[in-house]
Chains A and B, each alone.
Chain A
Amino acid sequence: MTIRQNIRSNTLLREMLAAEYVLGTLRGGARRRLETWLPEDALLNQTVNEWQGRLNPMSEFAPAVAPSPDVWRAISRKIGLEKSAIESRKSFWRNLREDIGFWRGLGMASTALATILVAVLITQPPAATPPVTSFVAMLHNDQSQPMAVIMGDAHHHTMTIKMVGQHTVAAEHSLELWAVPKEGNPRSLGLMKSDGSSMTIAMPAGTTPDTVPLLAVTLEPKGGSPNPNGPSGPIVFKGAWVQLTS
């Protein structure tokens, strides 16, 4: 029997070699030798696994720290998880929709909204057929500051967008307005004017609070989202799209 076989057949010694291998104190030639035995020695392999099971929980003695979101992004990019990136964007919209109760609650009772609406409505130029405001949304930024008021006219199928807050957009970006339906992808309503002046656009059929409970503005590359199925950038303002009761 060679020395090597002696070592390999000594149970106690094998146990300690495996333990120090896992701990890391088995070094140099002894470590390399054990590594050459592992693929052919199922029992030794099991002993090593058992020691990993005993010692690895020591890792939990360090306080847990959440890694930055960039780490997951880098991982999913590396392994090509684009598909689930779209899925997570979908669930983001789903979460937003679930938040709508909150926006509704804020709704029409808000005095700030009421005050601004009055101001907006009385500065409307007189028209041949006076516009009828059927739906309204007040869009807030994430500091809950009012940024834009959007009024929908169900008779003329138009919507008027009026900025009420200061928001500067870099030249290489555009702000894009979205209808966020209860189901399915957000639909683009158009780009906001870069100078922040008010504008009137066509209101697509079905843009009623029943089917589209939320309007949102995202920051996009100049010219709008390159993604045909929805926004590519972050939401900068959002608000519930509500029916005005007359």
Chain B
Amino acid sequence: MTATDPKQLKNWLAATARKDGEAFRLLYDATSPKLFGFALRILIKKELAEDVIQESFVSIWNNAAGYQPSLAAPMTWMTTIVRNKAFDALRRQDGAVELDADHFDKDVMNALESTDPTPLESLQMSSDAKSLAHCMARLESLHRQAIALAFYHDLSHSEVASQLKQPLGTIKTWVRRGLERLRSCLSKLEGV
């Protein structure tokens, strides 16, 4: 799978807002594997993740007219929809979903841990994801884990603290510092 040009996605979203079914299908084909992979990582259960993707795309169809290209990239907008719906589904679950140690794809993990920049370059990701991976690789491993746990599993500070067996105050500091560092690292990359 290749990273899809954001301009192309914007065109399809604009056509979807005009209720163009074919453009919507193209948008679905281009983005659903990424979004489904993401939902699957959050929910683990295939049926739940499929329901979430279904609900999300119905919502994308209904709300495409409200998408503002000047505010967010298409993938950012769609990912927010999927993530919110996935977390809603997660909250509807009775028991807690089992958290597995490897939140990410093995290749991504290896690339993040590696000091060599080449593995990151070879990953099939959008340039935004590569930039983020590059900056996350520069965080300390535990700070990175704290942020990833919160992002992927809808965990609060105290839940992250118990997962990583650290005091709450430490986690709050790690998350805040990690986010600050990500911001400055990403803005430097943007400047290049």
Q: Which residues of A come within 8 Å of B, CB atoms?
A: 15-16, 19-20, 23-25, 27, 45-46, 49, 52-68, 70-72, 74-76, 78-79, 81, 83-84, 87-88
For A65, give its contact among B33, B58, B152 (CB under 8 Å).
B33
Nearest residue, chain B, Cβ from A70: B50
The yes or no answer to B17 lying at the interface (CB within 8 A) is no
Q: Is the CB of A68 within 8 A of B50?
A: yes
Q: How far is the CA of A45 from the CA of B125 in the complex (A)?
A: 27
Q: How far is the CA of A58 from the CA of B128 in the complex (A)?
A: 9
B1-43 to A contact mask, C-beta < 8 Å, 1/0: 1000000000000000000011011001000111111101100
Q: Is the CB of B126 within 8 A of A78?
A: no
B127-166 to A contact mask, C-beta < 8 Å, 1/0: 0110111001000000000011011101111001000000
Q: How far is the CA of A78 from the CA of B59 in the complex (A)?
A: 11
Q: Which residues of B come within 8 Å of A, CB atoms?
A: 1, 21-22, 24-25, 28, 32-38, 40-41, 49-50, 53-54, 57-58, 61-62, 71-73, 75-77, 79-80, 82-83, 87, 103-105, 108, 124-126, 128-129, 131-133, 136, 147-148, 150-152, 154-157, 160, 175-176, 179-180, 182-183, 186
A70: B residues at CB distance < 8 A: 50
Q: How far is the CA of A81 from the CA of B24 in the complex (A)?
A: 10
B71: A residues at CB distance < 8 A: 45-46, 49
For B105, give its contact among A57, A62, A71 (CB under 8 Å).
A62
Q: Is the CB of B80 within 8 A of A52?
A: yes
Q: Is the CB of B183 within 8 A of A64?
A: no
Nearest residue, chain A, Cβ from B33: A64
Number of A-B residue pairs, CB cutoff 8 Å, is 149
B97 to chain A, nearest CB (A): 14
Q: Is the CB of A52 within 8 A of B76?
A: yes
Main secondary structure on chain B at its contact with chain A? helix
Q: Is the CB of A59 within 8 A of B32?
A: no
Q: Is the CB of A79 within 8 A of B61?
A: yes
Q: Is the CB of A59 within 8 A of B150?
A: no
Q: Is the CB of B36 within 8 A of A67?
A: yes
Most buried by B among A45, A61, A66, A67: A61
Q: How far is the CA of A49 from the CA of B74 in the complex (A)?
A: 12
B124: A residues at CB distance < 8 A: 64
B132: A residues at CB distance < 8 A: 54-55, 57-58
Q: Is the CB of B83 within 8 A of A83?
A: no
In the complex with contacts A20-B175, A71-B53, A74-B54, A60-B34 CB distance below 8 A? yes
